[in-house]
Structure 1
């Protein structure tokens, strides 16, 4: 039966000529051939970005962290962070509306900056995605173990089980993993909204409205709270790694990124307001609370909400494992196809059409990292603190590079306009300030030394490529292209 979705070369001879001769010659196959192209709908793509941010866990924990630095201005810090995330998403959208890539920010940064800058973005993404996957393993294991009776499997055993489940899900196909992520994250968000709505309508909460009033604004407080608030948005761009597999990538990818940034901001503002409300009469307020939502549930004489909270957070963390792992392996896939990393990473499963080698290496490796941290005897809270800081460092650097690349890319293609320039300038300035403050005062000396070692390794890797594999630098930034195999009547299409 003829495939009417693609033109027949025997009917349109000019396409046959374009596919085989002249300056419009098409590649025999797409550079990202092997992935399951054009299969994900908008909801599935949106689920990847939403799940990567783990909004349920962020709603429960981040407001107290932001309040510890911003004080009563925590709500304003979340508002500013939401605007910054939307501006960064606007910059990313300038690329994703024009190219469908699997390498996320690594691939699109290459189109605006040099290949070396793209390598820096790729290294930052690998660090960020890898650390965030490990964070999600630890978080899911910690909250699941809290739901089990004493003597049941310890967090390390749960991490190993989750690693196996996630590896199988990612390997079995992008549609399966995307649907699981969408359902799990949707349920966890609904559970969290039920919890907050219940607390908001409780009698004790209703008495606090007058006490809270309009949150006070302090420029210093807002500025100091932007960094932890921005950390809650980390991963919102994950949809950018699914441009090849989305049905209508030039529409669905930028829309999913912006919807995730805006929607997450609304959820965080709501969560922060409810928690500020609950602690309005408490000395010191929300700042300094270790488990603010669970404590409010107990204070409201609804301990069942605390159990529901743990279930929702555990589900959100597991969805983040799958979503972030999916993005991580696609960056590795792109690097493998380009020869920047071993070419085995660029291979795909012949049946499931997923980056099988990258999945087999990266997803279990993140699980091993999480298990090793747990074996040290450190508490999950201490482990999460270290891994989240590493995640934020990697992501902020990648976001900064893509913002810088945006106006250069648009000027190169002759489509530079005022709006993207303003978005890039504002977001880049904020990210420079936040990243500088984070590196100089937000982390320990030991962590800085560890990051410095990673930067040196990345620099050595880039230097080796420049000196010994310079020809491969020109291939950085591959994206999906119409190929001769896509045209009905070509030899590849007829096979």
Structure 2
């Protein structure tokens, strides 16, 4: 048996095992997707200047593509349980340097998504407080207060945060469904429009590439299922099932909501979306339901932004925790609370990073939506899609090493990951082609976003190579498994891959 490098897992660096149910995972990954934010912002933007009348078809096609990616992802999740998720998957499949490059990249992405979404929270909260309560509070104070609250909640057991997200999500989805069902049920402006699902609609779309990018953007964070594997009951079954269900249910939900948006205004939908933008579905609520529903939606936009930002706060926290536990970042980050078993130090660091980010944008006089809420998500989305491309390749590499047992395994671990990688590469290309349009700016800081992602990834890769030459024991900890059933096999395999004896 190999002698493991580093400290053994103990009560001080272990998460609360079997504390999260299958349904909690589904709720948390769906909350990260922020359905009301997608419906109220991304779908109207796509209708106006992206996929146009093919927006529902585009969301349906994106669902199919992500389900193919999920095939390989689920096979890894059945065998690997780690709070590091993509970081550990990439290490397992492509080696430690690539794994650390992925770990740094996805950690930076999720760390920045939380303050970016908190900017939207601050913007809409300021508007709501002014409209309904006559209070004049700057957006950045609302954003900072929300981030501080996220830390307070995440200090306690993960089940507390999961319960909050579950409740907010249930109300959010229910209200959106009421609006969409009422719109479709009434026949909208000119009756049902099955032609919205005709492939010919893509040929008339204003910018179908932007439509696909916005659709993929709507799913960012569905890796949440694997991040919580160590805290989940029966993770080998729960995580793959939760991933499939989250991707499929979100896909059906988005596709139906997009179709309802088309039916609502009929042939005039793209023009109306260009005029109304973030008020598009609120207008449908006023037309097809009672005004109370519109008022509820005004408040739910706030909770949707909060739930989304909080979900990514938890994601980033667990990457900081995982890299700290492995000794790659300061080990204190890998500590858990003695009673709550929460990664409270990593949560505090993530909250601090987010608050400082919001403060810097505020001091620069940036707009919370146009700058903080757009530029950072573009960086984050590009980083995550690049990581998903690498993870698709990692699935192939991992199963090349451990072997395959039959024809079905070839589909799950070679063909599906190849198709997934191709799809992610196409989306990266679409993003790079349209990056200044999506950011609404031609300034250099936006044009250099791809360079920022490359620098972070290269920093992780280079750091791993430096550790390999200067601190072999820490290098051996990169992507370490903390699932005791697999620990020995992993260490032995990785030693052999490095050309060394495991003993």
Which bin holds the TM-score, normalised by the shorter protein?
Answer: 0.7 to 0.9
Structure 1 position 440, deviation (Å): 3.3
Shift in alpha-carbon separation, 1:303–1:370, aligned structure 2, 3 A: farther
Say yes or no: does 1:227 pair with 2:213.
yes
Cα distance per residue 1:409-439 (max 9 Å; x no partner): 1121112622222211111101111102212
Shift in alpha-carbon separation, 1:342–1:283, aligned structure 2, 3 A: closer
Kept in 1: contact 2:57–2:196 (CA 8 A): no
Determine the C-alpha separation between the residues in 2 that align with 1:400 and 1:333.
Answer: 24
2:354 to 362, 366, 371: 366
Determine the C-alpha separation between the residues in 2 that align with 1:424 and 1:406.
Answer: 7
Structure 1 position 62, deviation (Å): 1.7
Structure 1 position 243, deviation (Å): 0.9
Which residue of structure 1 aligns with residue 225 of structure 2?
239
Q: Helix, strand or coil for the counterpart of 1:348?
A: coil
**Greater CA drift, 140-149 or 282-291:** 282-291
Which residue of structure 2 aligns with residue 427 of structure 1?
420
Structure 1 position 24, deviation (Å): 11
Which residue of structure 2 aligns with residue 51 of structure 1?
31
Which residue of structure 2 aligns with residue 250 of structure 1?
236
Say yes or no: does 1:200 pair with 2:181.
no
CA RMSD of aligned residues (A): 2.6
Kept in 2: contact 1:293–1:306 (CA 8 A): no
Determine the C-alpha separation between the residues in 2 that align with 1:125 and 1:274.
Answer: 34
2:383 to 394, 403, 408: 394
2:18 to 38, 45, 53: 38
Kept in 1: contact 2:396–2:417 (CA 8 A): yes
Which residue of structure 1 aligns with residue 324 of structure 2?
336
Cα distance per residue 1:26-73 (max 9 Å; x no partner): 999547942111211111122221111112211222212222222222
Kept in 2: contact 1:334–1:478 (CA 8 A): no
Which residue of structure 2 aligns with residue 452 of structure 1?
451
Shift in alpha-carbon separation, 1:73–1:121, aligned structure 2, 3 A: same
Which residue of structure 2 aligns with residue 217 of structure 1?
199
Structure 1 position 464, deviation (Å): 3.7
Structure 1 position 389, deviation (Å): 0.9
Structure 1 position 284, deviation (Å): 4.0
The 5-angstrom pairing of residues 371-390 of structure 1 reads 371-383=359-371, 384-390=373-379
The 5-angstrom pairing of residues 300-339 of structure 1 reads 300=288, 302-339=290-327
Kept in 1: contact 2:5–2:477 (CA 8 A): no
Determine the C-alpha separation between the residues in 1 that align with 2:199 and 2:395.
Answer: 32
Which residue of structure 1 aligns with residue 499 of structure 2?
none
Which consecutive unaligned segments of at least 5 residues does structure 1 have? Answer: 1-21, 484-495
Which residue of structure 2 aligns with residue 290 of structure 1?
277
Shift in alpha-carbon separation, 1:457–1:106, aligned structure 2, 3 A: closer
**Greater CA drift, 279-288 or 40-49:** 279-288
Q: Helix, strand or coil for the counterpart of 2:277?
A: coil
Which residue of structure 2 aligns with residue 74 of structure 1?
55
Determine the C-alpha separation between the residues in 2 that align with 1:134 and 1:107.
Answer: 25
Which residue of structure 2 aligns with residue 488 of structure 1?
none
Kept in 1: contact 2:55–2:211 (CA 8 A): yes
Q: Helix, strand or coil for the counterpart of 1:478?
A: coil
Shift in alpha-carbon separation, 1:114–1:213, aligned structure 2, 3 A: same
Determine the C-alpha separation between the residues in 1 that align with 2:163 and 2:299.
Answer: 19
Structure 1 position 403, deviation (Å): 0.6
Say yes or no: does 1:268 pair with 2:267.
no
Determine the C-alpha separation between the residues in 2 that align with 1:419 and 1:136.
Answer: 37
Kept in 1: contact 2:50–2:209 (CA 8 A): no
Say yes or no: does 1:108 pair with 2:89.
yes
| TM-score for both structures, normalised by structure 2 | 0.85
Which residue of structure 1 aligns with residue 72 of structure 2?
91
Structure 1 position 120, deviation (Å): 2.0
Determine the C-alpha separation between the residues in 2 that align with 1:366 and 1:62.
Answer: 23
Cα distance per residue 1:189-237 (max 9 Å; x no partner): 11222232333344xx445225674444245545552111111011111
Which residue of structure 2 aligns with residue 463 of structure 1?
462
Say yes or no: does 1:407 pair with 2:396.
yes
Cα distance per residue 1:233-283 (max 9 Å; x no partner): 111111211111101101111111111111110110111011111121427
Shift in alpha-carbon separation, 1:274–1:30, aligned structure 2, 3 A: same
Which residue of structure 2 aligns with residue 15 of structure 1?
none
Structure 1 position 311, deviation (Å): 1.8
Between Structure 1 and Structure 2, which shows a larger proportion of helix residues?
2
Say yes or no: does 1:188 pair with 2:172.
yes
Determine the C-alpha separation between the residues in 2 that align with 1:339 and 1:211.
Answer: 56
| TM-score for both structures, normalised by structure 1 | 0.86
Q: Helix, strand or coil for the counterpart of 2:220?
A: coil
Which residue of structure 2 aligns with residue 477 of structure 1?
479
Structure 1 position 125, deviation (Å): 0.9
Say yes or no: does 1:141 pair with 2:122.
yes
Determine the C-alpha separation between the residues in 2 that align with 1:377 and 1:25.
Answer: 50
Which residue of structure 1 aligns with residue 495 of structure 2?
none
Cα distance per residue 1:279-305 (max 9 Å; x no partner): 214274455241211233345584433
**Greater CA drift, 237-246 or 284-293:** 284-293
Shift in alpha-carbon separation, 1:286–1:121, aligned structure 2, 3 A: farther
